């Protein structure tokens, strides 16, 4: 794989890169690069998570060493259960990532508590606390925490620890959804103040929940789990938010865009002959255009999507013997 092919693979299907020039410089450096994504073990792995897993697989193909941080202490700070409960979920999450295609030999799976109880790590959290205003830390918290009337100190500690993770893991590239941007910019601004390098950042789109919520989430039960059986996938997609002609915030279209079209050269929307017969698409843009013009009915879109998603997730079900 030549330099441009590696770069295209690293940057494919991203919503933002901070910065492209830095990524190019890393690729041109000729040294082994390290990237990471962090996950809070707090529930089922779903198609929202799978976007970042897909990107980690791209990075592996491009020769980048990948670390998956299973952030058990973050989950504990977020009130997601006892450490024993959280670590059991972390084990399950690891198996899901492997089933989705991450190479277990080429992936370092790190439990947060393996690095976050180190004295040097704790000193970096303290140093970050001294250089970060309370307002900036609060702005970096997740949406739910920011909306709390009286959030705990743990909520503010969370983003500082996430920045310290990047130092402890020694990464060149941090991967996350666009909802991680505020924390990533906190790292970008504050790490150099401590004489520490900031990684480059790859941001990925956020898939809306099946109910139309701004984010697919296991806590809101608006997701498709990567080990759901075909009948459950069909049931969930049948009920999904997908108003005729509406393209913005449409989770059905987003699943086509980010999960189906990247895997298939041709996408077939099956329809009864009396309604015009099957439609064939080779690009997402054309499908979106036809849906916006109401040339494709939501029911037909959903039925075909159910079949494609079931096919895509078949290896995961096979891995777990389902």
C-alpha to C-alpha distance for 210 and 230, rounded to whole angstroms = 16
Give the model's pLDDT for residue 142: 66
Strand partners, 280: 268
Tokens of 262: 């990247």
Phi, psi of 320 (to 5 degrees): -90, 5
Q: Which domains does the chain have, with CATH numbers?
A: 3-204 (3.40.50.620), 218-319 (1.10.240.10)
C-alpha to C-alpha distance for 24 and 183, rounded to whole angstroms = 23
Give the model's pLDDT for residue 135: 87
Q: What is the pLDDT of residues 56-75, one digit of tens each?
A: 999 999 999 999 999 999 99
Average pLDDT in the chain: 94
C-alpha to C-alpha distance for 173 and 66, rounded to whole angstroms = 10
Give the model's pLDDT for residue 146: 54
Torsion of CA 17, 22, 27, 32, to 10 degrees: -100
Give the model's pLDDT for residue 219: 80
Give the model's pLDDT for residue 154: 84
Give the model's pLDDT for residue 8: 95
C-alpha to C-alpha distance for 106 and 222, rounded to whole angstroms = 32
CA angle 191, 196, 202 (to 5 degrees): 60
Distances (CA, A) of 296 to 161, 207, 292: 47, 21, 8
Residues of the chain with pLDDT under 50: 144
Give the model's pLDDT for residue 141: 74
CA diameter of the chain: 70
Give the model's pLDDT for residue 145: 53
Peptide bond into 156 cis (omega under 30): no
Give the model's pLDDT for residue 73: 95
Give the model's pLDDT for residue 58: 96
Give the model's pLDDT for residue 147: 56
Tokens of 272: 């009864």
C-alpha to C-alpha distance for 284 and 220, rounded to whole angstroms = 28
Q: What is the pLDDT of residues 269-308, one digit of tens each?
A: 999 999 899 999 999 999 999 999 999 999 999 999 999 9
């Amino acid at each position: 794989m030549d330099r441009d092919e590696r770069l295209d693979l690293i940057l494919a299907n991203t919503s933002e890169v901070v910065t492209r020039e830095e990524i190019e410089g890393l690729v041109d450096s000729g040294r082994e690069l390290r990237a990471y994504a962090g996950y809070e073990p707090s529930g089922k792995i779903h198609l929202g998570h799978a976007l970042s897993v897909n990107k980690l697989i791209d990075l592996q193909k491009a020769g980048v060493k990948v670390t998956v941080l299973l952030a058990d202490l973050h989950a504990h700070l977020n009130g997601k259960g006892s450490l024993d409960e959280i670590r059991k979920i972390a084990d399950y999450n690891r198996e899901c990532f492997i089933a989705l295609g991450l190479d277990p030999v080429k992936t370092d799976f790190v439990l947060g508590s393996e690095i976050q109880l180190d004295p040097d790590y704790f000193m970096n959290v303290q140093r970050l606390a001294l250089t970060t205003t309370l307002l900036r830390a609060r702005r970096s918290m997740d949406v739910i925490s920011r909306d709390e009337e009286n959030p705990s100190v743990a909520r503010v500690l969370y983003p500082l620890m996430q920045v310290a993770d990047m130092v402890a893991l020694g990464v060149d590239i941090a991967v996350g959804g666009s909802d991680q941007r505020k924390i990533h910019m906190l790292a970008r601004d504050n790490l150099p103040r401590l004489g520490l390098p900031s990684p480059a950042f790859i941001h990925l789109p956020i898939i809306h929940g099946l109910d139309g919520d701004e984010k697919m989430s296991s806590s809101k039960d608006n997701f498709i789990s990567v080990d759901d059986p075909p009948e459950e996938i069909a049931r969930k997609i049948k009920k999904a938010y997908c108003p005729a002609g509406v393209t913005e915030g449409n989770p059905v279209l987003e699943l086509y865009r980010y999960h189906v079209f990247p895997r298939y050269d041709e996408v077939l929307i099956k329809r009864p002959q009396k309604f015009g017969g099957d439609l064939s698409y080779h690009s997402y843009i054309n499908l979106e255009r036809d849906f916006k013009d109401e040339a494709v009915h939501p029911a037909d879109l959903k039925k075909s999507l159910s079949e494609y998603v079931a096919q895509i997730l078949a290896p995961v079900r096979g891995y777990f013997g389902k």
